[in-house]
Amino acid sequence: MVTLERSWDAQRPVDLRRTLGGLVRGSGDPVHRLDPVEGFRWACRTPDGDGTLALRAAAGVVHAQAWGPGAAWLLHRVPRLLGAGDDWSALGDLPGVLAELLRRHPGMRLPSTGRVLDSLVPAILEQRVTGMEARRSWRQLVYRYGTPAPGPFEQLRLPPGPGVLLDVPTWEWHRLGVDVRRQRAIRAAATVANRLEECSELSLDAAMARLQHVPGIGLWTAAETAQRAFGHPDAVSVGDFHIANVVTHFLTGRPRGTDEEMLALLAPWAGQRQRVVRLIELAGVAAPKFGPRYSPLDTRAI
């Protein structure tokens, strides 16, 4: 198979792990792979066809290789994928720890894949379940209904397209551990997949609104998708099980916080709130834990 290549000089540090790590759904993700030695690999259904992208970065220069009918589209997308034009200087004054984190990690940017369904489906799978459960469902869905990715990486698979998602029967979703509500949301998204992919060309506000028109897609799911597909700098995951507590604890020292409290604390950085959340997550400070650990319910046994 023909290999297409390009080099992109970002003229700044490029941190593949901290920029693209949020795309990877667990260490066993068949669609995205990130390794400190081998770099980043991504199997994608592009507007031009199936493609695989491999990235390495050194001294601010990114070397990209791509395979398949979508190779040229993926190579053209590399700068935007890695946050070209993602300007963090508008953050203004930051608390000392956050300012230091920003200074120490100049290569971190918000990614922008330009592919909506690829980010939306795993976000739907993460609704109301633990990350472990969602990652297991994602792996099994891709291995069972995806296809091998073009190129030399045998472990990579393309995620199922909208037509395949619509054909997955209810009992197979059940075997994947996906309840009826999430099944319906995925089917609703697959039904209007073409309209959702158009969100990449809309304003960020219009894209968020269109995502939330889909039954089963609320603010949390739309924000999780927009952060990855569009590099949305202000999309906060309201309704997340952990983020409000982490943000509140980091900024106030209190062990718990509500979404309303989190949004009030982030208000000084309106328009940049997701960037602040990313820095807080980078600090590695977790809110205190109380009570017993949640034990996931395996819906496949019901």
> How far are the Cα atoms of 92, 120, 256, 270, 287 from residue 290, in angstroms, in the given order?
35, 31, 10, 31, 10
Q: Please, which pLDDT band fits residue 302 given cuts at 50, 70 and 90?
A: low
Q: Which pLDDT belongs to residue 95?
A: 87
Mean pLDDT of the chain: 95
pLDDT tens-digit readout, 208-241? 999 999 999 999 999 999 999 999 999 999 999 9
Task: Say if residue 301's pLDDT is above 80.
Answer: no
Q: Which pLDDT belongs to residue 102?
A: 94
pLDDT tens-digit readout, 86-108? 999 888 789 899 999 999 999 99
Task: Say if residue 135's pLDDT is above 80.
Answer: yes
**Among residues 227, 236, 234, 242, which one has the least CA distance to residue 287?**
242
Q: Which pLDDT belongs to residue 276?
A: 97
Q: Which pLDDT belongs to residue 294?
A: 55
**Among residues 46, 16, 11, which one has the least CA distance to residue 33?**
16
> How far are the Cα atoms of 79, 175, 178, 302 from residue 183, in angstroms, in the given order?
34, 12, 6, 16
**Whole-model pTM?**
0.94
pLDDT tens-digit readout, 137-189? 999 999 999 999 999 999 999 999 999 999 999 999 999 999 999 999 999 99
| Distance (Å, whole) CA 207 – CA 185 | 17
The string of DSSP letters for 268-291 reads GGTT-HHHHHHHHHHHT------S
